[in-house]
Every structure is written in structure tokens, then in C-alpha cells.
Structure 1
Amino acid sequence: MRVLVIEDNPVLRANLELLFAGQGIDSRFAADGLSGLQEALAEPPDVLVLDLGLPGLDGMRVCEQLRARSDRHVPVLMLTARDALEDKLAGFRSGADDYLVKPFAGAELVARCVALSQRHRAGTPHLLTVGSLSIDRRSNLVQRHGQTLVLHHTALQLLLLLAEAWPRTLTRSELVERLWGASPPESDPLRTHLYTLRQVLDKPFPVPLLKTVHGVGFRLEADT
């Protein structure tokens, strides 16, 4: 799970970083509304934890802009000291999925983030299709033109990321972060796994699915 926290209090940011790291959750942070919104749009997290009293662009506006401009639904948990019913209702009207009042228990925040990420995936189909490619996420069965493709763990995870993002292009840094979190290997393992994936996914077939978008990243391109 990848969590983006938009919070201007440096002490709380540090505490949340420790909390999420202790649970094995990959967390990123922004200190103001505008930069946080830009990051959420550029690399959508699995859950956005959003303060309301932010400099530049407050949390309500961030949520509204995210809902208007994002190409997917990003679960939003508003984390704020505003405990009045009117504030909570305003938060939900702006597009929030959940609302937690400060002070809060760290275990509850983590539990709510996990629940939001799972709820967001609840309506996602098990079968992904991109052109001649099909991926069954329950069985990890990958087929192209009806032919079963055998992929080891990392290459399969890489293909799943690309298929779930399709037709969007994923940047190299986004793929590395999603595959290895905040501690990627010192070498360049992505190059190796891309090569391995291409050997299985594209080499046996006349039309490649995996495309390099020069200067941007990588994406799948439907062949039918």
C-alpha cells in the first residue's frame, strides 16, 4: 500500500512516517496543498491522508480538485482537528471517503487506510484485458492469444502494474517505487525485469505490447 500524506505540521509528519514505516507501509509526504495535489495527480497513491488547514490550497479544495482532475478514484482520508458536524459534512461533500479527527490513535489511522485501499479494489474486475493479453488476478494466469505465459514474481508484478495503469504511461521512478518501495536495490533491476518481461510477453508474437515512451516511461499498447 502506498500512502501520500499532505500535512503541514513537521512533527506530525515525522510521527506518521515512523508509524507507517513500522507497519511496512510506503509513505510519501507533502507540506502544502498545491504540491500535494500535484503529486497525487502525477503518481496517484492507494490512499491520500489529507489535512484541512493547509497553506496555499486548503484540504477541501485539494479534494475537490483531485476529484475533478484525476483519471481514477483515489481514496481520501481527511485527518483534521475540525470535529464539528458541519466540517465533516463539508469534507464528505468535497469528495472525502473517510474522516478522522485529531488527536487519533495510530492503529486506527492505519486500519482505516487499509480498509480504504481494500474498499477501492472491491469493484475492480479480477480479469484484466489489454488487447490480446489477459491476466486473472485471482490465479495469476497470464495469457496472450490464448497462450499461457509463465512469468516469475517480479516480472508478473511489473506486468500487473502496467496493465492496471493502462492506457497510462508509468514513469521509471513510479515503477521502481511500486515494486521495491523506499529501498530499491542499488543496481538497476528494472532494466533486467523489463527485458525478462519482453522476452515472454512480446518476443513470441508479431506485435509488441510493451512500449517505451522515450523520456517518460513505459506502457502497454493494445494490439487488437
Structure 2
Amino acid sequence: MSIEVLLIEDDRDLACTVIDYLELEGIQCDLATNGTAGYNIAIEGKHDVLVLDINMPGMDGFEVCRKLRRNGMSTPILMLTAMDTLDDKLKGFETGADDYLVKPFALKELAARLKALAGRKTNRARRLTVGNLVMDLDTRTVTREGCSISLSPTCWSLLETLMKNAPDVVEKSKLEQVIWQGDSPDSDALKVHLYRLRQKIDKPFSHPLIHTVSGYGVVIYGEGSERDQS
């Protein structure tokens, strides 16, 4: 069975060398040349392993890895970088990397590590977490402070979108697109569903997580986060 790898690397010469060699090893490799593009491809979940440089334009490798893990991505990640200090390696593992290979490296070793990662069954649950709110995408359950919360399909979609983008603000038009493909039944429909979501997520608890940013959109963030200044 062939292995599908996404290489996120801004050095095109190195990337071409890696891709050519991996093809000889039976490993198919797609390329993204900056962190933002790499993240957008990786989040689709189509690859067996992600190979991630750290110093890249758009979004550095640490942030790409951190954001993927926060959004429930369980695909094995190998960081391939010239950053070789112990602190660099520890930071890579702390953000969610499964392996770490320092440049310069032997192509044969890279291929061996990729095959090992592709064959490894990860136990990492696909969960989204904001503060004490947890959404399990596999079991389709939501809990806050250990209490189970039942949501309608629409409220589930709203919450999943907010949590996947946290702590960024989500435009109302994007939320409407998620639910109605942009064709909202009326101007107050989103407002009604957000009210129902707040009744489930915030009302029974002491600290609200869902906040409206006037004139822009909606955001969810946990107590003690950078956005929480109250």
C-alpha cells in the first residue's frame, strides 16, 4: 500500500530532492511551500504523514502543528528542520509532533521514519478543547466541567466552527455559510441559533465562553486565555 505524505517546506530545491527520493521508496509526496497553505491542505486529512519545516512564511511550523492538533488532527507529524537545540525539539513535541529530524539528514533515514509513522496507529482522540469545554468529534459528544451537553445539529455545527477557529473571531457570514450555505432563511435566524447555543454552553455555568464582537462576528475562548481580560 502506498504512503501519502504532505511536505510543508519553503526550500524548493530541498523539497524537489526529497520528493524525487521518496518516490523511489514508494512514497507519494505533495508539496506546500508556506505554513498557511500547508495547514489548509493538511486539515483535509488526506495524507498518512505530514512533514513540517519550522521556519516558514505565512505560519511557522510550531503554529501549524499546534493548530492542527487543537483542531483534532491526529495524522502523524514529523518536523524536519535545521533548529537542533534540545529546547527546539522539546517545543516541537509539546506542540504535537510525533518525530523530529534535524537538517542535514540522510534521505534513507527520512524514508524509514515516514514508513514507521505511517504504520503507527495513533491513540490521539479527535477532540476540540476550549477552556473546560470539550467536543469529541468521534463520539459526537460535548461536555463542560464534566457535564454532558446535548446539542441540535445546527448548534453542533456552530460550536464546531467556533472551536476549530478559536481563539479567532468567526465572521457571521462564515457561520451562515456553514449552516445554510450562505442562504440564511431570515436576518435573525443566526441570532436565534446562537442564543440557543449560549443557553446550552454558557447559561448553566459561571463563566461565558461565547462572545459577540459587535459589527464583525462571534468568538469562543476559555477563562484565562489571551482574549479573556475580564
**Normalising by the residue count of structure 1, what TM-score does the alignment of the two structures yield?**
0.52
Instruction: Using the TM superposition, give the Cα deviation of residue 43 of structure 1 relative to its aligned residue in structure 2, in angstroms.
Output: 3.6
Q: CA RMSD in A?
A: 1.5
Shift of 1:44: 3.2
Q: Distance in 1 between matches of 2:80 and 2:39?
A: 16
Give the 3-state SS of the residue equivalent to 1:5 in structure 2: strand
Deviation at 1:92, TM superposition (A): 0.4
Q: Cα offset for 1:17?
A: 1.1
Which among 27, 30, 33 is matched to residue 35 of structure 2? 33
Sequence identity (%):
47
Report the counterpart of residue 220 of structure 1 in structure 2.
none
Q: Residue 6 of structure 1 aligns with which residue?
A: 8
Deviation at 1:39, TM superposition (A): 0.2
Q: Of 13, 17, 21, which aligns to 1:19?
A: 21
User: How far has the Cα of 1:117 moved from its partner?
Assistant: 1.0
Q: Partner of 1:61 in structure 2?
A: 63
Structure with the larger helix share: 1
Is 1:101 the equivalent of 2:102? yes
- Which runs of 5 or more structure 2 residues have no equivalent in the other structure? 125-230
Structure 1's unaligned 5+ residue stretches are 124-224
Question: Counterpart in 2 of 1:113?
Answer: 114
- Any idea what SS the aligned residue of 2:7 has? strand
User: Which has the higher mean CA deviation after the structures are superposed, 23-32 or 112-121?
Assistant: 112-121
In the alignment, the residues of structure 2 paired with residue 59 and residue 20 of structure 1 have an alpha-carbon distance, to the nearest angstrom, of 21
Partner AA of 1:95 in structure 2: G
- For the residues of structure 1 that align with 2:60 and 2:40, how far apart are their CA atoms? 14
CA distance in 1, matches of 2:5, 2:121: 13
Find runs of 4+ consecutive structure 1 residues off by over 6 angstroms: none
Residues 122 and 25 (structure 1 numbering): CA distance in 2 closer, same or farther, change over 3 Å? farther
For this pair of structures, how many residues does the alignment match? 122
Which whole-Å deviations, capped at 9, do the CAs of 1:30-60 have from their partners, x for residues lacking one?
Answer: 0000110010012431000000001010000
